[in-house]
Structure 1
Amino acid sequence: MASEAPPKPMSPSERLDAIDVLRGLALFGVLAMNIVTIFRVSFYAPFLPNAEPAGPLDRVVAAVLTVAVDWKALALFSLLFGVGLVIQFERLAGDARRMILLGRRLVVLLAIGLVHLYLIWNGDILVEYALAGFVVLPFLGCARWLMAGAALLLLGLYVTMPVLPPIVPLPGTAGMAALAADAMRAYGTGGFFDVLAFRIREVPAIFPAHVVVFPRTVALFLVGALAWRSGVLRRASANRRLLFVVATFGILFGGGLSLAAAGQELFDGPSLGRAHFPVEQLGAVVLAVGYAAAVIAAVNLSGERRMLGWAAPLGRMALTNYLAQSVICGWIFYGYGLGQFGRLGVAATLAIGIFVYVAQVGFSAWWLRHYRFGPVEWLWRSCMYGVPQPMRATVNLPSCARR
């Protein structure tokens, strides 16, 4: 029978700290890659030959980010989004409006993403996540073998896309160079409306990259949902040994694949030819799974729970922090702010990103001592349930004091 109680968001006491900690840590990886790539220089700069000179420190920092962080942080976020979606699906099992509420949740996320994409930053992932969520939603009630099969099929499609005819091709080298030069003028020296006009123009040019990545996003949502439905995440303490085995395999094997893929570019190693993209992307997924297993296993050790607890508030309001990062980085790099676009090296830019992240850690902890949700999370949940949610915290729960 459908529950007569109105649906409501998960209370802080119901949340799993390991998931929040992992989300908070993944947020650093997302910020690190976003700030040194699409905020610092044009989206097309990495595709151009001899894009920029780099000193030894910049090369080392770029190499570490490429091997250990690039693509892995987004893969982690995608896995966690799939976990969150299936948790919502299960929590609403007794409600006749379950699919309506989940559909509304994704529509609201899509609206937030469109505002972010056009008014703040065109590197947005929320629009893609909302659309991928609609694809995944019908699978959440299916058998696990069907979800696993769909995930493997989509991952296979993703890694073979470079050898297939492009569905929507990226601009050619000359077009990329022209867009990069225009980005330098608009983002580096333009006012807000100059930046806005160029961003609107650039969104269609970036769209092919989202088309390429979309199968991977859907596949990782399904993998995250499967990880939750398997019981490994919700019973992490009982599965600690399995998690450590997965972590060890994922970090060693995924790290090895990532090093092999980056070898030619970073270390003048042998070329992998057409195998480069599949090796790089398989390495990113496997390493991300290894990271996730390591963090979840560690959080379920009492000592490590205390050491990593600072990341839980950041993860609880990850959407607010993600959007705030875009606003802050836009002010730092674009012409309507400090105008540092194209002027800083990788190492200096990463240092700024670390400062922003540390500030968000402190702010998130302070905010959640007074309020139940981050401000954007409150808006998202209120719109989903159709009722303004209570915002004030009634109980101050110490971070990571719960299982």
Structure 2
Amino acid sequence: MITSLSPIHSAGESDDTLRIDPAIDRATGPQPVAKVDRIQTIDMIRGLALLGILMMNIPGFGYLWSMLPIALKTPGSADYYAFTIVGTAFEGTMRGLFSMLFGAGMVLFTMNKRESETGPTVAEYYYRRLLWLVLFGVINAYILMWRGDILFFYGLLGMTLYPFRHAKPVWLLGLAVICMGIGMFRTELWYGDLRANRAGYLESVRLEKAKKKPSAEQMKQKTAWEGFMKNRKPDAKKQAKELREMRGSYATVFAHLLPRNSESETYGMYFGGWDMLMMMFIGMALLQWGFFSNKLPNAAYALTLLIGYGVGLPLSWFYVKAELGWVLNPATIVDTYRTVPFQVYDIRRVLLALGHASLLMLVYRAAIVPWLTRALTAVGQMAFTNYLMQSIICTLIFHGYGLGYYGKLAYHQLYYVVAGVWVFQLILSPIWLRYFQFGPFEWLWRSLTYWQPQPMRRVQQETSVVSLAG
């Protein structure tokens, strides 16, 4: 999602291939990276992540979640297969890659830049860039009406990365493990409370059947468990209200989503920020190791692919089976597992994300489908525009002020929309970049970051502040 903005070597070139001219840099200050200086493989992987993340977002755009238990009730149905295949192979992995590349992109923004003798420092540009990203996230949530926006979170979390930009990979991975541990600890606390409520409920029922009176604590736990289960059951009145409001006017949809977006951007940061920050630290470490910049040997990518898929897919299948059980009847999960099975979520998504990225790197090196890797690279170079474009397209398809398809498609039919958006963006992005240096939102973001309009149209021969040695 975040494009790199530093004059850094292109894929396949050695570290001493490019040099900064200090005199030019002092005179001009930090500048956006020229297209010729971008790392193509980072854009390519970012393009894959951008398209893949729509697979996970699409139910949030157009599906009534309370209908999911009914959709998954029949094993072998199209909905069941769509849920299990997408969940096993992709759930969390594309957002994981997005977060990794965000961390890498924030390092690239400051890399090889020199402080200007007059004007803002690199740090000021860095934090200005992220403050604008937070604002874009607010716009995406409250104006474009996407309840699953991540720009707001990335902008805030990215502000914590700057002090670690020179940290060694081993320390970055240590920070990632700490973030994972905090998230897992919080999940375990929640699950422990849930198990206690379930145990209190079962004991209360047993005592009541025996004509005995449960304790006050047991009754409290019984009430809590019954409330938890009641909230998970489909409510026809609530469903009808949600469908009516989401298929209503812009003002009606805004009023419906306002409390949900507000809750997401407060509690969501508190509860969900750790996994994003974990992936950002991993991405920063992988950048230093050359994983994203095409610097590792084929054997390293092949080994990462085998480990990522060989361990990640079985873990992911276990996770999705537990997820199915949770959707259909969470009591069975609570009664079966002392530790919540969803604790494997972050481990599996790291493994699968690295597996997906390694597979794409090997395909790129083998030049098997060069037209596809070029198209993915263009999508990744315009990832900010394409991400917001997905919000615009999908909300216009599903919300009432557009076509009003919210809740009208079966779960598996949502992925027909995904395929259509993919084709559109894979075709449009390369065409756009034939004539323009940036996507429209990339151009706006860069212009706001540097507080001056950036050149938009492509010139016959692009120049750079970087001099090519040799």
Counterpart secondary structure, 2:435: coil
Change (3 A) 1:53 1:343: farther
What residue in structure 2 maps to residue 219 of structure 1? Answer: 278
Aligned residue for 2:27, secondary structure, equals coil
Q: Secondary structure of 1:135's partner?
A: coil
Distance 1:74 1:329 in 2: 18
Q: Tell me the alpha carbon deviations over residues 127-171 of structure 1, each in whole angstroms, 9 at most, x when there is no partner.
A: 0111110112211123433322211100111123211259xx9x9
Candidates 129, 132, 146, aligned match of 1:105? 129
CA distance 1:64–1:57, shift in 2 (3 Å): same
Q: Amino acid of the residue matched to residue 77 of structure 2?
A: P
* Native 8 Å contact 1:19 1:296 kept in 2: no
Alignment of structure 1 residues 181-330 onto 2, 5 Å: 182-187=241-246, 189-206=247-264, 207-234=266-293, 236-266=294-324, 272=337, 274-330=339-395
Give yes or no for the alignment of 1:365 onto 2:386: no
TM-score (ref. length: structure 1): 0.88
In 2, distance between residues paired with 1:93 and 1:23?
A: 27
Aligned partner of 2:29: which letter? P
Once the two structures are TM-superposed, the CA of residue 28 in structure 1 deviates from its matched residue by 1.8
CA distance in 2, matches of 1:180, 1:315: 37
8 Å contact from structure 2 (residues 302, 362) kept in 1? yes
Amino acid corresponding to residue 419 of structure 2 in structure 1: I
1:261–1:272: 8 Å Cα contact kept in structure 2?
no
- Change over 3 Å in CA distance of 1:374–1:192 after alignment to 2: same
8 A Cα contact 1:41 1:342, kept in partner: yes
Deviation of 1:231 after TM superposition, in Å, equals 3.0
The structure having more radius of gyration, on CA atoms, is: 2
Do 1:237 and 1:300's aligned partners in 2 also have CA atoms closer than 8 Å? no
Output aligned runs, 1:4-403, within 5 Å: 4-35=27-58, 37-42=59-64, 45=66, 50=70, 56-95=77-116, 97-120=121-144, 121-165=146-190, 182-187=241-246, 189-206=247-264, 207-234=266-293, 236-266=294-324, 272=337, 274-395=339-460
Unaligned runs of 5+ in 1: 398-403
- Aligned residues of 1:333 and 1:341 also touching (Cα < 8 A): yes
Find the aligned partners of 1:277 and 1:93 in 2 and give their Cα distance. 45
CA–CA distance in 2 between the matches of 1:83 and 1:116? 23
Please list every run of 5 or more consecutive structure 2 residues that lacks an aligned counterpart in the other structure: 1-21, 195-226, 463-470
Residues 95, 296 of structure 1: CA spacing in aligned structure 2 closer, same or farther, 3 A cutoff?
farther
1:40 aligned partner, one-letter code: G
User: What is the Cα deviation at residue 91 of structure 1?
Assistant: 3.4
Deviations 1:176-201 (A, max 9, x none): 768765432211x3100000111112
The verdict on how the C-alpha distance between 1:266 and 1:174 changes in structure 2, with shifts beyond 3 A counting, is: closer
Q: Would the alpha carbon gap of residues 304 and 94 (structure 1) be closer, same or farther in structure 2, given more than 3 Å must change?
A: farther
Describe the superposition over 1:24-78 as per-residue Cα deviations: whole angstroms up to 9, x where unpaired: 111221111211x211224x538x8557766711211111111111111111111
Equivalent AA in structure 1 for residue 177 of structure 2: L
Amino acid at match of 1:226: A
Distance 1:94 1:233, change over 3 A: farther
Q: Distance in 1 between matches of 2:411 and 2:425?
A: 21
Following the alignment from structure 1 to structure 2, what is the Cα–Cα distance between the partners of residues 327 and 106?
22
Measure, in 1, the Cα distance between the counterparts of 2:175 and 2:258. 34
Q: Distance in 1 between matches of 2:52 and 2:109?
A: 25
* Alpha-carbon spacing, 1:374–1:396, altered in 2? closer, same or farther (3 Å): farther
Deviation at 1:94, TM superposition (A): 4.7
Aligned equivalents of 2:430, 2:101: Cα separation in 1? 21
Q: Aligned-pair distance for 1:303?
A: 3.7
- Structure 1 equivalent of residue 465 of structure 2: none
Secondary structure of residue in 2 paired with 1:62: helix
Alignment size in residue pairs: 389
Letter in 2 for 1:365: P
2:171 and 2:296 map into 1 onto residues whose CA distance is 26
Deviates more, 1:363-372 or 1:340-349: 340-349
Report if aligned partners of 1:89, 1:98 keep a CA contact under 8 Å in 2.
Answer: yes
**1:260 is matched by which residue type in structure 2?**
F
- Percent identical residues: 29
Q: 2:428, 2:73 → 1: CA distance?
A: 36
- Quote the Cα distance in structure 2 between the aligned partners of 1:291 and 1:256: 15
SS state at 1:232 partner: coil
- Partner SS, residue 346 of structure 1: coil
1:106 Cα deviation from its structure 2 partner: 0.4
CA contact (8 A) 1:332 1:338 kept: yes
Change in Cα spacing, 1:297 to 1:16, as seen in structure 2 (3 Å) is farther
Letter in 1 for 2:162: L
Report the more deviating stretch, 295-304 or 25-34.
Answer: 295-304
